[in-house]
Structure 1
Amino acid sequence: MQEMYPKKGRVILHVDMNSFYASVEMAYDSSLKGKPLAIAGNVEERRGIIVTCSYEARRFGVKTTMPLWEAKKLCPQLIVKSPDFDKYRTASVAMFDLLRQYTSLVEPVSIDEGYMDITECHEMGSPIEIAKSIQQRIFQTLDLPCSIGIAPNKFLAKTASDMKKPMGITILRKRDVPDKLWPLGVTEMHGIGEKTAEKLESIGVRTIGDLSQANEMQLRHALGINGLKLKNRANGEDNRGVDPDSIYEHKSVGNSTTLPYDSTNEKELLTVIHTLSEKVAFRLKRKNLAGQKIGITIRFKNRKTITRSKTLLNPITSHKNISEEAKALFKIHWNGDAVRLLGVTAFEVIEKQEAFKQLDIFSYQQDAKKEPLFSAIEKLQAKYGKKALQKGTDYTGGTSANMGAETSFSKDFLDRQR
């Protein structure tokens, strides 16, 4: 079997679970199989958004991120369920445990997808035989479908896994790139969204083939260093290895909420930011992390979305500091229009022990006095729950105290894998 593997280079698999949340629900309840099923947040409220849906629902035009009311209009018989993240985490852990039976080089990148380096697994069979074994075992033991891409690097493996769904296995070699990828539009390429595509369009780059041959000076000017990376990807080049430890690297921790109604009330909006900042701070402290940059997301009534951030002099973790920075950003960048969604995120997070603070003579005594209080609060919240002891905030009644459901942007779902 060794002759089926390259003498130089790698064999990378990208395992991508198909309609994961919907498939897990079907595995738990077989009566849902073969029916149009959607998983949506806030099922009873107008802000409900489709998180994922079955392939039966997709045939009616139902798509991820589509408003629930629109999905029901396209498919009146649509079955809608609220997310059950405990089920999904359990299934995810079981899936990754199975992958690690083939190799220790498994890199989870989300709850339902991951990379495997099987370069040294020739004793188990050819790459295609290993992929078939993985796909069949996941289906037989967990009743979950997946697609698998086989390639010499992570970018091509990810691209390959998207080519046949559900239950597909695709091999994509570097020599296949000119025929299979170059004719496609740049928006078909993993890592390129609408805004990046618009910038590429401005310099005459419309297809992946155009990108592969693009002028590097123009790319750098339009996209910075990322432009050169995307050109390499368009040529099928990607030197990143499969890193099992990457699940321990937190790049950001954030929370967002969709408001139950579009609001122009500044006091209410600042209260929401205050609450979101509290949640971000709690999760940072629980993970022993500190943020070096604070960002906000504002989505307006017309669905236009802006994100703004500020790099900080010192890493921060406290609710007070996060809230102050987020509110300041909001006041600068909010134009007064009705707001539909708000988010607060700590970026460039690092381990707390790696963080430093340039304490001066004025702040040192103040920080030293507060530290025992913070420690005591954390211990009480850890023992009795985070609501056991909270700082008082202004409350004027109405709905602002519970403006929306929390959405997590960090890799909390991978905590169970540690």
Structure 2
Amino acid sequence: MNHNRRKGRIIFHVDMNSFYASVEAAYDPGLKGKPLAIAGNAKERKGIVVTASYEARAQGVKPPMPLWEAKKQCPELVVRKPDFEKYRKASQEMFRILYEYTPLVEPVSIDEGYMDVTEAATNNALSLAKLIQERLVKELNLPSSIGIAPNKFLAKMASDMKKPMGITVLRKREIKNILWPMKTQDMHGIGEKTAEKLEKYGIFTIGDLAQSDPDQLKERLGIGGLRLYEKANGIDLRPVDPDAVNEFKSIGNSTTMPEDITDSAKVRKVLMNLADSVARRMRKKEVYAWNVQITIRYHDRKTITRSRKLQYPVRSHQELFDASWLLFEKYWTREPVRLLGITAMDLVEKDYAYKQLDLFSYKKDIKDHQLSSAVDSIRDKFGESILLKGAQLSKDRSDQLRDQKRRGTSLEKDFLRDNLFDND
């Protein structure tokens, strides 16, 4: 490990280009070269564009554009409905190729990942990147862009610089000329809200951020501000961690009742509080769940878990509660309940989730999120119990989940570990 640090690391960020559209074109060569969009509810024209081929983007088609607008921009647009099973298989094949060169592969999402090739690229990192890129095209018919750098942050920034089919090397000594002139919102790890906060402090470019006072950034933005300062200066010590994919696949909370309960009304209140707690953590992580699981532990310590696959990804407390309540009603044996838990599983990032909503659901989710974010801000400032629904008021321990100091508690760590994604 020390030897690697002494001679410097070589990190790749492999990012597949317009992945969903590229997979469709790989399955149907007749789509190659055509303006192609992947969108839900294609026949009804009310879906949103998930992704678009570069030919479509050249004509102004960009996600998450409403499908009707995309067709207005590009009348000859070819539309395909998402086939996520097909994309998952292509992703597995993509990562299979990456793993052939190093065991140090960290999947980030379905279509991108990091590689630590410090040992593998003993002769020429650029040649290795070209070889991997060529294999992805030859064997899978899928284009990619690869960033090469001494750390993960710079590799990610590099891979975004040339698309499609680009390979970019970004060295630390080059960041002043290449990265610093860029706007902060173009920096990986900075979203719209953070960019707005930075602008209030007179920080508009990555260079401004790099030359800011780190202590002030930490005071204003917390430890995250210090991390952004380090990255703006080309510092990122995070290792490429093959196990990272298993560390964040579910978010759950559970609570043990002070006394066993058989009253369904009390159960509803507990589940409502649990759903509220889980939903808030999901909003902070900006993730959605494809699957909701409940845990029921009875008075005799017998424990069951039951899950429900959802039609579309969710994260609102009401949707989590509704799914949990349906499961509870279906599987409760009417025996006294000692513990209840809710776990949101099969998590996907916000942008990925939006790709699977139709336009109506997309707009509704945006509206719900704005309201929830406002509530979260008020709770952060004045306390967890400042804004509650009547159904959430109870005397059981579940109301303590609103206490920030206790929110992280889950059933047991091994309970969450048992509910990771399968790679099947």
Q: TM-score, normalised by structure 1?
A: 0.65
Identify the match of residue 145 of structure 2 among 144, 147, 159: 147
Residue 302 of structure 1 and its aligned partner are, at CA, apart by 11
Task: Provide the C-alpha distance between the structure 2 equivalents of 1:248 and 1:75, rounded to a whole number of angstroms.
Answer: 41
Per-residue displacement from partner, 1:282-319 (whole Å, max 9, x unpaired)? xxxxxxx9659xxxx99866955324588xxxxxxxxx
Q: Residue 179 of structure 2 corresponds to which residue in structure 1?
A: 181
Residue 330 of structure 1 and its aligned partner are, at CA, apart by 11
- Summarize the alignment of residues 357-376 of structure 1 with structure 2, pairs less than 5 Å apart: none
Instruction: Please state whether the residue corresponding to 2:158 is helix, strand or coil.
Output: helix
Residue 162 of structure 1 and its aligned partner are, at CA, apart by 0.3
Identify the match of residue 167 of structure 2 among 161, 166, 169: 169
Instruction: Please state whether the residue corresponding to 1:250 is helix, strand or coil.
Output: coil
Residue 160 of structure 1 and its aligned partner are, at CA, apart by 0.3
Q: Which letter does structure 1 place at the counterpart of 2:226?
A: L
Residue 220 of structure 1 and its aligned partner are, at CA, apart by 2.4
Per-residue displacement from partner, 1:242-294 (whole Å, max 9, x unpaired)? 0111111125453389xxxxxxxxxxx9975544556999xxxxxxx9659xx
Residue 72 of structure 1 and its aligned partner are, at CA, apart by 1.3
Q: Residue 90 of structure 1 corresponds to which residue in structure 2?
A: 89
Q: Which letter does structure 2 place at the counterpart of 1:25?
A: E
Q: Residue 100 of structure 2 corresponds to which residue in structure 1?
A: 101
Instruction: Please state whether the residue corresponding to 1:221 is helix, strand or coil.
Output: helix
Instruction: Please state whether the residue corresponding to 1:244 is helix, strand or coil.
Output: coil
Per-residue displacement from partner, 1:89-140 (whole Å, max 9, x unpaired)? 11110110111111111111100000000111145x4100100000001100
Instruction: Please state whether the residue corresponding to 1:39 is helix, strand or coil.
Output: strand
* Alpha-carbon spacing, 1:44–1:279, altered in 2? closer, same or farther (3 Å): farther
- Summarize the alignment of residues 315-334 of structure 1 with structure 2, pairs less than 5 Å apart: none
The count of aligned residue pairs is: 306
* Alpha-carbon spacing, 1:70–1:61, altered in 2? closer, same or farther (3 Å): same
Per-residue displacement from partner, 1:173-209 (whole Å, max 9, x unpaired)? 1111000000111011001111100000000000000
- Summarize the alignment of residues 201-350 of structure 1 with structure 2, pairs less than 5 Å apart: 201-250=199-248, 252=250, 254-255=288-289, 272=319, 274-277=321-324, 291=343, 303-304=366-367, 305-306=369-370, 307-308=372-373
Q: Which letter does structure 2 place at the counterpart of 1:83?
A: P
Q: Residue 138 of structure 1 corresponds to which residue in structure 2?
A: 136
Residue 143 of structure 1 and its aligned partner are, at CA, apart by 0.4
Instruction: Please state whether the residue corresponding to 2:423 is helix, strand or coil.
Output: helix
Task: Provide the C-alpha distance between the structure 2 equivalents of 1:349 and 1:250, rounded to a whole number of angstroms.
Answer: 15
* Alpha-carbon spacing, 1:189–1:270, altered in 2? closer, same or farther (3 Å): closer
The answer to whether the Cα contact below 8 Å between 2:17 and 2:163 also exists between their aligned partners in 1 is yes
Matched, 1:21 2:20: yes
Identify the match of residue 416 of structure 1 among 398, 403, 423: 423
Q: Residue 190 of structure 1 corresponds to which residue in structure 2?
A: 188
Q: Residue 55 of structure 2 corresponds to which residue in structure 1?
A: 56
Task: Provide the C-alpha distance between the structure 1 equivalents of 2:390 and 2:51, rounded to a whole number of angstroms.
Answer: 31
Instruction: Please state whether the residue corresponding to 1:156 is helix, strand or coil.
Output: helix
Task: Provide the C-alpha distance between the structure 2 equivalents of 1:175 and 1:236, rounded to a whole number of angstroms.
Answer: 9
* Alpha-carbon spacing, 1:9–1:88, altered in 2? closer, same or farther (3 Å): same
Residue 221 of structure 1 and its aligned partner are, at CA, apart by 3.5
* Alpha-carbon spacing, 1:69–1:256, altered in 2? closer, same or farther (3 Å): farther
Task: Provide the C-alpha distance between the structure 2 equivalents of 1:172 and 1:149, rounded to a whole number of angstroms.
Answer: 7
Task: Provide the C-alpha distance between the structure 2 equivalents of 1:206 and 1:178, rounded to a whole number of angstroms.
Answer: 15
Q: Residue 127 of structure 1 corresponds to which residue in structure 2?
A: 125
Task: Provide the C-alpha distance between the structure 2 equivalents of 1:118 and 1:279, rounded to a whole number of angstroms.
Answer: 48
- Summarize the alignment of residues 374-393 of structure 1 with structure 2, pairs less than 5 Å apart: none
The answer to whether the Cα contact below 8 Å between 1:290 and 1:349 also exists between their aligned partners in 2 is no
Task: Provide the C-alpha distance between the structure 1 equivalents of 2:187 and 2:34, rounded to a whole number of angstroms.
Answer: 31
Instruction: Please state whether the residue corresponding to 2:7 is helix, strand or coil.
Output: coil
The answer to whether the Cα contact below 8 Å between 2:121 and 2:128 also exists between their aligned partners in 1 is no
Percent identical pairs in the alignment equals: 54
Task: Provide the C-alpha distance between the structure 1 equivalents of 2:110 and 2:103, rounded to a whole number of angstroms.
Answer: 18
Task: Provide the C-alpha distance between the structure 2 equivalents of 1:48 and 1:250, rounded to a whole number of angstroms.
Answer: 29
Per-residue displacement from partner, 1:358-393 (whole Å, max 9, x unpaired)? xxxxxxxxxxxxxxxxxxxxxxxxxxxxxxxxxxxx
Q: Which letter does structure 1 place at the counterpart of 2:141?
A: D
**Structure 1 unpaired stretches of 5+:** 258-268, 282-288, 311-324, 333-346, 357-409
* Alpha-carbon spacing, 1:32–1:46, altered in 2? closer, same or farther (3 Å): closer
Q: Which letter does structure 1 place at the counterpart of 2:107?
A: P
**Structure 2 unpaired stretches of 5+:** 252-287, 292-315, 329-340, 345-349, 351-360, 377-384, 393-406
Task: Provide the C-alpha distance between the structure 2 equivalents of 1:235 and 1:279, rounded to a whole number of angstroms.
Answer: 50
Instruction: Please state whether the residue corresponding to 1:416 is helix, strand or coil.
Output: coil
The answer to whether the Cα contact below 8 Å between 1:290 and 1:350 also exists between their aligned partners in 2 is no
* Alpha-carbon spacing, 1:276–1:161, altered in 2? closer, same or farther (3 Å): farther
The answer to whether the Cα contact below 8 Å between 2:181 and 2:205 also exists between their aligned partners in 1 is yes
The answer to whether the Cα contact below 8 Å between 1:211 and 1:231 also exists between their aligned partners in 2 is yes
Q: TM-score, normalised by structure 2?
A: 0.64
The answer to whether the Cα contact below 8 Å between 1:185 and 1:207 also exists between their aligned partners in 2 is yes
Q: Which letter does structure 2 place at the counterpart of 1:416?
A: N
Please report the RMSD computed on the Cα atoms of aligned residues, expressed in angstroms. Answer: 3.5
The answer to whether the Cα contact below 8 Å between 1:199 and 1:222 also exists between their aligned partners in 2 is no
Task: Provide the C-alpha distance between the structure 2 equivalents of 1:101 and 1:153, rounded to a whole number of angstroms.
Answer: 21
Task: Provide the C-alpha distance between the structure 1 equivalents of 2:7 and 2:327, rounded to a whole number of angstroms.
Answer: 45
